[in-house]
Amino acid sequence: MFEISEINKRNQKTQKLFQILFMMMTVLLIMPVVAILGMLIYKGGSIISVDFLFSNPTNGMTAGGIFPAIFGTVWLVAVALLVSVPIGVAAAIYLSEYAPDNWLTRIINLAIINLAGVPSIVHALFGVGAFVIFFGFGTSILAASLTLAIMTLPVVIVASRESLQAVPLAFRMACWNMGATRWQTIRRVVLPNAVSGILTGVILEVSRTTGETAPIMFTGAAFFLPFLPQSVFDQTMALSLHLFVVSTQVPGVPEDLPYGVALVLIAMVLIMNSLSIAFRMYLRGKKKW
C-alpha cells in the first residue's frame, strides 16, 4: 500500500529541487549583507573606541572622533519622527476609518504610494524651496528634519493604514452596534490592536532617515562644525554626510576612518531596529485574537 510509484518519485524530486533552489536564492541574498558587515568590521573595527565616539574631529577631519555627527544624526531623526509619526498615523486613521470609498480617496491613496517612489534628491530640492527659503528656517535641523519627514511620510501612512485595516471589521461592527462613536471604537479597539503594525512603519522610517544624505545636505547638514547645535534652528553635522565627506572630499584621511564611520552608522540603525523589533514582538505576544 505504501510502495513508491513512478509519479511519487518524480513529485518528490521536483519538490526537493525547488526547495534547494529557494534556499540558494536566500543564501545569495544574505551574502552581500554579510560581506558588507564583515568588511566594515575588518577594516574599521580597529578605530572604534570611546574616544572615537565621543570627541570632535581634528586635523581637518583626518583624525579625532565623530561625536558631532552622531549627535546631529540623533537630532535629525528624532525631530523627523516627532513630525512624521503623528501626522502619518492621523492621516492613516482618516483614510482607513473615516474616508468614504470614492474616487477622490482612491486618488489620494494612489498619490501616497507614488510619493514613496519620489527620489530623495527631489525631496531635497523641495525642502530647500519650501523650508529653507519660503518658510525662512534657513539651513537648520528643523528644515532638514522636515524634509526627511516629508520623504518618509508615505511609508508611515501606508504601513499604518494596512495595519489598521488588518483589524477585523467585525470588531468595529460590534462596537458601533453598542452605540460607540467612530472615535471611541478607534481608541478602545482598533488602535491598540494596530500598534505593532504601525511600529513596523516607524522602524522602516528610522532606518531610512538615519542613512539618507541627499535630503539633508542642502537643508541643514554641515560639512564641518566646530560646535554642537544649540537648537533646531542651528546647522548640524550628520553621520551620513560625514561619511560622504571623509570618503571623497577631504585629502589625507587614513583608510580606516571612513570604514569606522560607516560601521557606526550601520550599528546605529541595527541597534534602533533591534530595539523596535523587540518591542514589537512584546506587543505581538499580547496579540488579542
Partner 1 sequence: MSEARVKLDIRDVSIYYGDKPAIENVTLDIKEHEIFGIIGPANAGKTSFLKAINRMDMFTTNMEVRGDIYFNGYDIRKARNIYALRSRIGVVFPLPVGLPLTIYDNVALAPQLSGIKDKAELDIIVERCLARAALWDEVKDRLNSLGSLLSGGQQQRLTIARALSQEPEVLMLDEFSIAVDPVTTMRIEDVLKELKSEMTIILVTNLVQQANRLADRTAFFLEGKCVEIGETEAMFDGKVEHQRTLDYIQGKFG
Binding site for partner 1 (CB under 8 A): 101, 170-171, 173-181, 184, 188-189, 192-193, 288-289
Whose grid coordinates read 541574498? Answer: 29
Smallest gap from residue 189 Cβ to partner 1 (A): 6
If the CB atoms of residues 93 and 239 are measured against partner 1, the closer one turns out to be 93
Smallest gap from residue 287 Cβ to partner 1 (A): 8
Smallest gap from residue 188 Cβ to partner 1 (A): 7
From CA 243, how far away is CA 289, in angstroms rounded? Answer: 46
Smallest gap from residue 164 Cβ to partner 1 (A): 14
The H or E element containing residue 95 is: none
CB 64 within 8 A of CB 233: no
If the CB atoms of residues 177 and 248 are measured against partner 1, the closer one turns out to be 177
If the CB atoms of residues 138 and 192 are measured against partner 1, the closer one turns out to be 192
If the CB atoms of residues 73 and 193 are measured against partner 1, the closer one turns out to be 193
The H or E element containing residue 178 is: none
Which residues make beta-bridge pairs with 63? 58
If the CB atoms of residues 67 and 171 are measured against partner 1, the closer one turns out to be 171
How distant, in Å, are the alpha carbons of 76, 172, 174, 181 from that of 177? 45, 8, 5, 10
Smallest gap from residue 186 Cβ to partner 1 (A): 13
If the CB atoms of residues 22 and 183 are measured against partner 1, the closer one turns out to be 183
Smallest gap from residue 172 Cβ to partner 1 (A): 8
Which residues make beta-bridge pairs with 64? 57
If the CB atoms of residues 199 and 237 are measured against partner 1, the closer one turns out to be 199
DSSP per residue, 191-225: HHHHHHHHHHHHHHHHHHHHH--HHHHTTTB-S--
Backbone angles phi, psi at 135, to 5 degrees: -80, -10
From CA 120, how far away is CA 151, in angstroms rounded? Answer: 7
Crossing angle of helices 6-44 and 256-285, rounded to 10°: 130
Smallest gap from residue 174 Cβ to partner 1 (A): 4
